[in-house]
Structure 1
């Protein structure tokens, strides 16, 4: 399974920055370790090079804030040019970890309409002030979501074609340590 190559949006920067997607013994490596805070600030918005396709996966590693409220990870498609991209973009998958009621929600927005949130999970995998690793595997019919190596749920595609899913946005009560 290929790890997605993600580029940070060129907002207030001179050129696009690319995050390495190779694996080492310690996990996902970034070529910008010495300057990682400049690249992976929250909120984070970046491009998924080549879009999504079956066999591709997104890995988000981070640390939950000590007193978290919630955090979101969204995979999106559609571009609005100079307008607010989030207003017109389709959201293929929005993951929301909500700490007040220990829910890990997911839904999608197609043509401006949000689907009903799916909430059923076996357990809530996130702990304040602790590290986590989320893997989003893209398959033909669905995304398969793993947290810390445990499969939590599947989310069936509502946005197609998959190649159009070409952006990621991360926001909320977390620090991103590695992304690929």
Structure 2
């Protein structure tokens, strides 16, 4: 289900957006799970961690909508593997895709972590798509060879898969200077 929030501390009503039914299957139900509580499907507070039902696969999309804070430093959206191994304190989980927006230098970076080692950050984009105190919409499309990243409907870049087991990509993590208004 789509979730809309009014403020950082508000407990929002659950609202379904009929237009995005095809996106709503991306995250499980009771679906949104945080390290602190078993079922927080009615809350999308930052930092946020939620399970991706059945992992990623070609054709699956992740949608993150939000509003950038008035004086932002950065925001991160990561698709990670092995959420349970992180809780158990074992080997650090792989990160299939980490998107980082850095406002000071207007960079939108992407990287991955495989077997505990980070890849080099990829940085080139045509423009910086985020504006303080303004809404945004990030779409992550999973294809056979790559992730395609769109912001506000514009294709920004492709990120070729470093983690080859799509079904192991089971968690989305969101951090930084933003308010999440919808996740699907």
- TM, length-normalised to structure 1: 0.83
Determine which structure has the larger strand proportion and give its number: 1
Partner of 1:9: 33
Alignment of 1:64 with 2:87, yes or no, is no
Q: Which runs of 4+ in 1 moved over 4 A?
A: none
Gaps of 5+ in 1: 19-31, 33-38
Partner SS, residue 82 of structure 1:
helix
Gaps of 5+ in 2: 1-20
Identify if the C-alpha distance between structure 1 residues 63 and 84 changes in structure 2 by more than 3 Å, giving closer, same or farther.
Answer: farther
Partner of 1:83: 88
Shift of 1:16: 2.8
Can you list the C-alpha shifts for 1:26-62, whole angstroms capped at 9, x where unaligned? xxxxxx5xxxxxx100000010000000000000000
Partner of 1:102: 106
Partner of 2:77: 73
Alignment of 1:157 with 2:161, yes or no, is yes
RMSD: 1.8
- TM, length-normalised to structure 2: 0.81
